[in-house]
Structure 1
Amino acid sequence: MPHITLSLLLSLTELTLSHLFPPPLPIPPSYLLPLFLAHYLPLKIYSLFLHPLYFSPLRTLPTPGGNLPLLGQTLTLLRATSPVQTYVDWANRYPRAPFIRFLGLFHSEIVLVASPEAHKEVLMTHCYEFKKPDIMYRFIGDFVGKGLLFAEGGEHKIARRRLNGVFGVGSVRRVMGVLWGMAGGLGGVVEGMVGEEGEGVVDVNELYVKATIDVTGATILGVELGNLRGEEEGGDMDFLTSFRRVFQQPPLSALISFINLFLPIRRFLPIEANLGYLRASAQLRRMTLDIVKNRVKELAQPDYRNPVSNGADLLTMMLEGEMSLSKAGDKMTEDQITNELLTFIAAGHETSANALLWASYVLAVHPDIQTRLRREITSHFEAGKTPTYEQLESLVYLHNFCREILRRYCPALMTFREALKDLTICGTFIPRGTVLLLLPAVASRTAWVWGEDVDEFKPERWENLAGTEADSPYAFGAFMHGPRICIGKQFAMVELKVLVVELVTRFEFGMTEELEGLGGREPRTTNPGMGYVPAGGMRVKFRKI
């Protein structure tokens, strides 16, 4: 029970009893506030200081020092060179520890899941004994709503079964033509940017955000957004502008999002840094709901044909599945469909753009990897013919290259779980209500799991995992695992591969002066931020082949 509620109940009870069974001097009603403070302050002092430091059953877990009063590790996390580096450093500091405890804002206790075995227990073995906590909903729930991402227990199982077909291999095959068409559009835009000279420097952050927004529009919504061609630029609150405001927040807005995880302030701050985010989030929901409503009407027409995707988009496939259901009560409402679409968009758009950005960085600074990748692609694909799904999946080095991108530069930052009951996992007692933090970077960048070369980019490492700690599937966390594994995993991997193939076969990547000036160091990443992305973007040199 919250301390304010408990203190108020105790004070009112004490006041009432003093009048029902009066002592020599009944307590006057004006003493309610002093009574409340007398109860509340000791409870608050206990929860803020005494419990986490001296009485918590979690206090025996490895716990980083250097906590600041009431702030815990908050400033340490905000001052780090990236939004994940501090957590990775902790995991390396306490090798083989299944869990690491740290103190957040107001000394809130958060437990970092640190080992592959602990990831397996939380994500697979005890999956439905955890829920998505309020801290997770405050991270992105006000945007995506109550869809698959926040469904729990039996409700999640039903939603998962309903949507599995939409993301199956058959659906991925259907959307391949749309993906190749969008990739070709991206290649054409880059070709135009390098001009007649056939060589030039491109801001890939800007380019890929536009490209993946267009891919999202075509493959998920079945609409043409036209950002790559500049058709939507300049709008006050178009898809691109709104997405940037939500997923590429300016520093103050990003700080508000970080604080909102621990203290729900998002809906109460009347400043533009916060209001702009709320407006953009609401606008995206309105636009997506309008698309859903229009598609429902269009599919009711027997001669309807989608000019963008020819029906090979997730919205159309979802609605076709819903139309096949005989009972109206089994069908999703338009609001529910909108929630699911926004979840797919939120999970897929920014992460795809960032993964492609880091792929371009790697190709620019590692010409040997670029050469090997291009050689494999050109030796398997016939010029002038669109590769099939099976041909794309047969490219082993491309597959390992994409997995290494997602291991070393995973765009997705973190997720949370809250224990629904007392549990013992990996010999560690986890009390009911404990909030666990899971980061793909911790699973994928811990030296005792992946070796001393963990920070090196080596696609070939995936060929030699047998017998090592990294051979566990839970040592790679880009898509999580278990019943709540990312439902769009296959779709996301194919999208990344298609875009990489298109660019690598049309252009050579080279370093700009900015990248050369780093002297082998990696770019600093935005912190705090919604994803793992270089601060200030990234520029790469393209040369037409």
Structure 2
Amino acid sequence: MVLPYRLISAISLGASYFLSLPNAPILPISGFVTTFTTLWALQFLLWALWSVVLYPKVFSPHIGLPEPEGNAFFIGQYKEIIRNPTGTPMLKWINSIPNNGLIRYLGLFNQERLLITSPEALSEVLVTKSYHFQKPGHVRYTLGRILGVGVLLAEGDEHKSQRRKLLPAFAFRHIKDLYPLFWRKAQEGVEAMTEQILTDAAKGRKKEISAETEEATTGIRPDTAVIEAGGWASRITLDIIGITGLGRDFGAIKDPNNELNQTYQHLFKPTKQARILNLLSMFFVPGWLINMLPVQRNGDIQSAANFIRATCADLIEEKKQKLARKELVDVDILSLMTFLAAGHETTASSMTWAIYLLAKHRHVQDRLRAEVRERLPSIAGGDGSSTVSSMDIDHMPFLNAVCNEVLRYFSPVPLTLRQAVCDTSIQGHFVAKGTSITLVPWAINKSESMWGPDALQFNPDRWMLKGEGDKHAASGGAKSNFAFMTFLHGPRSCIGQSFAKAEFACLLAAWIGRFSFELDNKEMADEKKLEIKGGVTARPARGLHVRATVIDGW
């Protein structure tokens, strides 16, 4: 429930004016300001009583739907939600609470939400009635400060128009031409990573030698060092989106202190202030007021947004000038449109989780490396002579199986919200206007009812053909296409799905072909102890530090 502050303020102003007139009834309170404050506070208390207690516990039309047990009186399941990684409680509920597509749960101050759990219900929300359910206002406002109201946040006819104009840029015939660019940047990244690993390994060896004798260090690998995989993934994917989406090499691979990379890293860092401001926006504080609060987070967002928009404006102007001079020959997405707002954090998150899972499952890593080295040219040299095509990457069954399974097991965006903008229904159940809808890829992607008893296991073989005529590999053996929610479905599905999957496959092949990975902190192998930070994307809270070994011969 959102506080109708405009209505409350209008009623309070009007009532205070009339009650302040000379012939108004005598009240225990006097004075315009005192009357206004008293009336506003009284209405707020009545609204709070209705929103927090009466509606969710007595009058909601959704009472009677399956719910998790253990609701706290005022905060519902909030403790369970806040102390676990995003989407984890919903995964438990989906696999333990019998339901027909809808689970009702209460959050902070008993905010009511409907969790969508079945293919049929997902189809209604995402396809047949997709424009009945829009992103909540606070989500659009918060992200809009940074991204603008592009195809990600636009609604209704505006969204239809933007998506229609953008679709040609993401057609397969265009994406397949980008594979060599993906590979070239992956190659550049691998060479830079190799240099750092060998340098750090040499420094570590010198320290060991200075502390002990030469003989005592014969077992030290000269080609192994600890790296933070997520940081490298972010830098490489930023350069990829720069060269393919905007026609400029940002140079983040070469410069770890690249200003644009640092801006994105800082912007999407889930600080305590960011969480508090997000909570305020979810309830009754209007966005314009939150923006005016004199806190550091607001200043950081404004500075970052200004820098990113200025960078994009410069790039667009460069493109216009090249077009005017008929010099535009770049193979990049912006060549086909006026403007593109594209991110890199989702693919960077996928790469991070891929390295985590492959470091944890070494037999899968070894099997993938064997396929990469057998089917792809050596990446050595860094001179651009090594290249691949879409045919090379798309016809590597185990590489694509691993990529699909990583995207299933750890969806980069774990949860997304919708809100009913009109009275509607889901699976025949009435859904009132304003009802919050929760779509949780982290839960749907591991639903045992859709994926079977091994839904919670990392198993790339579910995507491999079992024999001639096998029709299950394309869906991973799931019972419905809606079991795989990483890119959503329908008119609001990820427009860059093909781009992201191609980029991910090229990067992963390059990394695994050159390096062997193992977890630096062995305790991280236990996923129950793995601390995950939420935000736009999900990643290990303290980064992913792995021992990377350079493997010769490729």
- For the superposition of Structure 1 and Structure 2, which TM-score range results when normalised by the shorter chain? 0.7 to 0.9
What is the TM-score of this pair, normalised by structure 2?
0.84
Cα distance in 1, alignment partners of residues 225 and 39 from structure 2: 72
Cα distance in 1, alignment partners of residues 269 and 15 from structure 2: 52
Q: What amino acid is aligned across from residue 80 of structure 2 in structure 1?
A: T
Match of 1:43 among 43, 47, 67: 47
Please name the residue that 2:389 is paired with: 388
Q: What amino acid is aligned across from residue 312 of structure 1 in structure 2?
A: V
The equivalences for 1:203-222 within 5 A come to 203-222=228-247
The equivalences for 1:46-65 within 5 A come to 46-65=50-69
Please name the residue that 1:362 is paired with: 357
- Residue 255 (structure 1) shift: 4.7
Please name the residue that 1:530 is paired with: 536
Please name the residue that 1:474 is paired with: 482
- Residue 219 (structure 1) shift: 1.5
Cα distance in 1, alignment partners of residues 114 and 407 from structure 2: 24
Q: What amino acid is aligned across from residue 322 of structure 2 in structure 1?
A: E
Cα distance in 1, alignment partners of residues 530 and 394 from structure 2: 33
Please name the residue that 2:366 is paired with: 371
With over 3 angstroms needed to count, the CA separation of the structure-2 counterparts of 1:9 and 1:530, relative to structure 1, is closer
Contact 1:209 1:350 in 2 (8 A): yes
Contact 1:256 1:274 in 2 (8 A): no
With over 3 angstroms needed to count, the CA separation of the structure-2 counterparts of 1:79 and 1:453, relative to structure 1, is same
Cα distance in 2, alignment partners of residues 18 and 280 from structure 1: 48
Contact 1:58 1:430 in 2 (8 A): yes
Matched, 1:187 2:212: no
Cα distance in 2, alignment partners of residues 380 and 24 from structure 1: 89
- Residue 409 (structure 1) shift: 0.9
The equivalences for 1:106-505 within 5 A come to 106-195=109-198, 197-230=222-255, 233=257, 238-257=259-278, 259-262=280-283, 263=285, 264=287, 266-302=290-326, 304=327, 311-319=330-338, 337=339, 340-341=340-341, 344-345=342-343, 349-382=344-377, 386-463=387-464, 466=472, 470-505=478-513
Cα distance in 2, alignment partners of residues 531 and 24 from structure 1: 57
Cα distance in 2, alignment partners of residues 278 and 18 from structure 1: 43
Q: What amino acid is aligned across from residue 83 of structure 1 in structure 2?
A: T
With over 3 angstroms needed to count, the CA separation of the structure-2 counterparts of 1:478 and 1:468, relative to structure 1, is closer
- Residue 11 (structure 1) shift: 5.6
With over 3 angstroms needed to count, the CA separation of the structure-2 counterparts of 1:286 and 1:460, relative to structure 1, is same
Which runs of 5 or more structure 2 residues have no equivalent in the other structure? 203-221, 379-384
Q: Write the deviation string for residues 224-266 of structure 1: whole angstroms up to 9, x where unpaired.
A: 1112212x62x6xx20111011123444434544554445464
Contact 1:135 1:416 in 2 (8 A): no
Percent pairwise identity: 29
Which runs of 5 or more structure 1 residues have no equivalent in the other structure? 320-336
Q: In angstroms, what is the RMSD of aligned CA positions?
A: 3.0
Cα distance in 1, alignment partners of residues 421 and 508 from structure 2: 42
- Residue 94 (structure 1) shift: 1.5
What is the TM-score of this pair, normalised by structure 1?
0.85
Does the residue aligned with 1:418 lie in a helix, a strand or coil? strand
- Residue 165 (structure 1) shift: 0.4
Q: What amino acid is aligned across from residue 486 of structure 1 in structure 2?
A: C
**Which region of structure 1 is more displaced relative to structure 2, 9-18 or 521-530?**
9-18
Contact 2:517 2:547 in 1 (8 A): yes
Cα distance in 2, alignment partners of residues 11 and 387 from structure 1: 68
Contact 1:364 1:541 in 2 (8 A): no
- Residue 387 (structure 1) shift: 2.3
With over 3 angstroms needed to count, the CA separation of the structure-2 counterparts of 1:427 and 1:299, relative to structure 1, is same
